[in-house]
Structure 1
Amino acid sequence: MQRRKFIHRTTMASAAFLGFPTIVPAHVLGKESPSNTINIGQIGCGRIARSHDIHDTIRFKGTRFLAVCDVDAKRAQDAKVWVDDFYRERDDKPKYGDTKSYDDYREMLLNKDLDAVIISTPDHWHAQPAMEAAMAGKDIYLQKPTSLTVREGQQLQKAVQEHNVVLQVGTQQRAMPQFRVAAELVRNGRIGKLHTVKIGLPGDPAGPEAPEMPVPPNLNFDAWLGAAPKVPYTEMGVHPQNDYSRPGWLRIRSYGAGMITGWGQHHYDSAAWGMDTELTGPHSVEALAEFPKSGLWNVHGDFLVKHQYNNGITVYTSGGYANGIKYIGDQGWIFVSRGAYTASASDPVDQEKSAKALNASDPKILESTLGPNELHLERIDDQHGNWLECIRTRKTPISPIEKGHKACVTCLISDIAMQFSGKLEWNNDTEQFVNHPEANAMLRREQRKPYGTDQL
């Protein structure tokens, strides 16, 4: 099916209910009514989907995974078996096998029974399926980074707003209490006037050369590449065929920017919470970075990025700092990290396993109690659970597209700054570099047709 015909069909099919709750409220039909069940489709069935997104969503009552989709037929089948087994055991249905498997998410989006989708694809396949899901009236849980480029992020934000769907970005540090507590203490002045933030974020190593290999028969490699440039297949550049360990595409610039976007959106999002800059960004950025001189992997290694904000705060990011966020004020500091938490078994967390999840220059800072008239930030217990709740209530989730886009932009302009010497001035309103056409040219990428957000 041609892409524009698909968009027309999904848009027309959803026109009748866009702007209204996809799920009939419980007070109308009863809490346990089948019509109150959120029917979910999973797009992308790799490491993060299996260990995090499906795993953390399927346990909620009132949800049902109806479908899974992956361009690797083996991964789609593994996900179907995983979901079927879960429901077979939970519901005591020995012959349960109702989960539908797709190899094209666009076909899945035509399923009118689906209310929502979770997108756990490689970074270069985030914005396009999210936009098409919004056009089809589906609510969305989107893994970070929000987009591959600033331009894609702008397009996605517009689509979500125009079609009035609930989109939650997978920046799950918002659900970890230590990050909220740190942000609350900072914003309520417990370390005095905040002037500096130091973010620890490791770089990626260089990799070996990778010879061309035959494409596995179970993988639609052209669809996997999508809008990215056509290149020969090699397993190290895509994902492992025999397990669900950390994939090689994470370290290739055609599909992302490395750790500055991979984990950077987590930390920049959390830091913005404490700096009260969630809907804006820095006015300047400058960076130094090392890049591999050979091998398949070509994202940044060791690096240092400096951002300056209009409120006087300077943010430094480097692998030389402990993995986490250190807020420094004129009366003390607070450090916050994930501790030993991992989203998957292959997360690179060696630096932070021994780090305290929350620490301060003076223990009394952490013992401080917020008064009723002080700022209390939104509190949730689970990122996926908050998304499901907002699907039902139509309230704004804790990590909406507007905040996700701004955090992702901070990552993306950091990557761009690594390609230039000196300071780049940034206009947050226009989302353009000031008087720097070469840097502005990197705010978007050429998209290989017929794929890409520019085709929508």
Structure 2
Amino acid sequence: MNRRHFLRQSTATTLLSTVAGSVSLSASAANPNDRITIGVIGVGKQARYLMGRAMNLPQTQIVSVSDVVEPRKADAARLANEFYAKLNNQLDYSGVSQHDDFRDIIGRADIDAVIVGTPDHWHAIPVIQAANAKKDIYCEKPISLTIEEGRAMVNAVKANKVVFQTGSMQRSEFDGKFRLACELVRNGRIGKVLSVNVGVGDPNRPCDLPEEEAPKDTNWDMWLGPAPWRGYNEVLCPKGIHNHFPNWRAYREYAGGPLADIGAHHFDIAQWGLGTDDTGPVKIIVPKDETEMRGLKFIYANGVEMTHGGPGGTTFIGSSGIVAVDRAELITVPSKMRETNPITDQDLKLENTGGRAGVSHMANWLDRIADRGKCICHEEIGHRSASLCHLANIGYQLRRDLDWDPKEERFTNDEAANRLLSRERRGDWKLG
């Protein structure tokens, strides 16, 4: 019995029983020869967290890491090697290799899957190459820098029949409060949905950071990759090993700003609650005040209005009630909605992955690798949620109302806006 056959038959059952139970997950629960072998592409703060989550699930084996910063890469390999040495009661373990170039990981036949934890401008190319190499993929959110990239990623994943999970883990974790919020909305507990408020940060902006001397242990040209050339700045790529979220997230050349960084979570929940995972709005209406960084509205085909603004999280406003949810709490109006009109077996139930923090979303990916099914936040969902962020950024950048065709993924009234659906890529970096 080969590894893939074993996994398809046994991994989902094992994972479901361990995640649902009270026992502590341990990587020793599976034979090392039967584990899903994983390479980690980019090992900054978030990717190291994901690596740790994967190592602590029984069906995985981290075998390789890559990064453009030498000490960061070396330290991630050290952490993984020490984990496996302790797990196997060995004095030493050196089975986790290091690569300077992510393509070396993708090219390895002994690697089943990859975790892509790079900055946003470096998501599309590794994902597409990994899909073409038949690797299953966990990619941090937002999955893309542009709508063109996102659609190309979806197409590659589907064409190669690989399993893809977007890192928008609110669908899986936080004790299921986001799932319950969406079930209340989808089952009519607030009446007809009229509007949604999504409280996240500002749109992106052009990078204006001064140039600094690049550290000798950092491949700055590779960090930039397909992005336009500019000099190094520590804000974009911290020196050595860091324990904060770098602010490349703010800048248009590399990311979608706070709007997309957190919007990939809360717009995702808005889409889930509206049942629009495979589509999007038909109109973007920008604020009248051109200095305003909140207030952009999306209009959906059914008339629902979604606004970028309001309290943090996602708030659904209906004809007879309100559901507001963030990571801290789920609030309803009327306040006793869950008690007086609970979700029952006769209602629409959304996928329940267990709700365990730091476990359920990664475990869902591994379950689906085992049975070759669709993840709770699969490629199309990740693309559509990221697309809302990209559309908002385009609206704020151009400062004019736009008509959007969510099927064709084109603006129908503005060619300048259509040109912003894609980016030129530097040098020889191509999507295909």
* TM-score after normalising by structure 2: 0.89
Query: Deviation digits for residues 96-146 of structure 1, max 9, x if unmatched?
Result: 121101111111112111100000000000011000000111000000111
Q: Which residue of 2 aligns with 1:399?
A: 377
Report the Cα offset of residue 313 of structure 1.
0.8
Q: Which residue of 1 aligns with 2:319?
A: 330
* Correspondence list, 1:16-415, <5 A: 22=4, 24-25=6-7, 27=9, 32-50=30-48, 52-176=49-173, 177-203=176-202, 210-241=209-240, 243-288=242-287, 302-318=293-309, 321-339=310-328, 357-367=329-339, 368-381=341-354, 382-415=360-393
1-side partners of 2:325 and 2:224: how far apart?
37
Q: 1:26 to 1:436 in 2, by over 3 A?
A: closer
Q: 1:301 to 1:40 in 2, by over 3 A?
A: farther
Aligned-partner residue type, residue 46 of structure 1:
G
Report the Cα offset of residue 303 of structure 1.
2.2
1-side partners of 2:420 and 2:333: how far apart?
40
Moved more, 358-367 or 144-153: 358-367
Aligned-partner residue type, residue 50 of structure 2:
D
1-side partners of 2:261 and 2:40: how far apart?
20
2-side partners of 1:201 and 1:28: how far apart?
40
The answer to whether the 8 A contact 1:359-1:366 is kept is no
Report the Cα offset of residue 369 of structure 1.
2.2
Query: Deviation digits for residues 392-420 of structure 1, max 9, x if unmatched?
Result: 11111101111111111111011001122
2-side partners of 1:193 and 1:386: how far apart?
32
**Counterpart of 1:443 in 2: which secondary structure?**
coil
2-side partners of 1:363 and 1:24: how far apart?
48
Aligned-partner residue type, residue 25 of structure 1:
L
**Counterpart of 2:229 in 1: which secondary structure?**
coil
Q: 1:217 to 1:331 in 2, by over 3 A?
A: same
**Counterpart of 1:246 in 2: which secondary structure?**
coil
Q: 1:388 to 1:377 in 2, by over 3 A?
A: same
Q: 1:435 to 1:22 in 2, by over 3 A?
A: farther
Report the Cα offset of residue 288 of structure 1.
3.7
2-side partners of 1:273 and 1:309: how far apart?
14
Report the Cα offset of residue 215 of structure 1.
1.5
Aligned-partner residue type, residue 93 of structure 1:
Q
Task: Calculate the aligned-residue CA RMSD, in Å.
Answer: 2.4
Report the Cα offset of residue 267 of structure 1.
1.0
Q: 1:55 to 1:288 in 2, by over 3 A?
A: farther
The answer to whether the 8 A contact 1:67-1:101 is kept is yes
Report the Cα offset of residue 272 of structure 1.
0.9
Q: 1:285 to 1:23 in 2, by over 3 A?
A: farther
Aligned-partner residue type, residue 198 of structure 1:
N
Q: 1:203 to 1:27 in 2, by over 3 A?
A: closer
Q: Between Structure 1 and Structure 2, how many residues are aligned?
A: 407
Query: Deviation digits for residues 187-209 of structure 1, max 9, x if unmatched?
Result: 11111111111111123799997
The answer to whether the 8 A contact 2:203-2:392 is kept is no
Q: Identity over aligned residues, as a percent? A: 34
The answer to whether the 8 A contact 2:119-2:248 is kept is yes
Aligned-partner residue type, residue 295 of structure 2:
L
The answer to whether the 8 A contact 1:21-1:392 is kept is no
**Counterpart of 2:420 in 1: which secondary structure?**
helix
1-side partners of 2:327 and 2:110: how far apart?
37
Is 1:446 the equivalent of 2:419? no
Q: 1:22 to 1:449 in 2, by over 3 A?
A: farther
Structure 1 ranges of 4+ moved more than 6 A: 28-31, 204-209
The answer to whether the 8 A contact 1:44-1:119 is kept is yes
Unpaired runs of 5+ residues, structure 2, are 15-29, 355-359
Q: 1:205 to 1:312 in 2, by over 3 A?
A: closer
Moved more, 89-98 or 180-189: 89-98
The answer to whether the 8 A contact 1:304-1:317 is kept is yes
2-side partners of 1:205 and 1:408: how far apart?
14
Q: 1:290 to 1:312 in 2, by over 3 A?
A: closer
Aligned-partner residue type, residue 272 of structure 2:
W
Report the Cα offset of residue 383 of structure 1.
0.7
Aligned-partner residue type, residue 350 of structure 2:
L
Report the Cα offset of residue 444 of structure 1.
0.4
Report the Cα offset of residue 250 of structure 1.
1.2
Q: 1:406 to 1:87 in 2, by over 3 A?
A: same
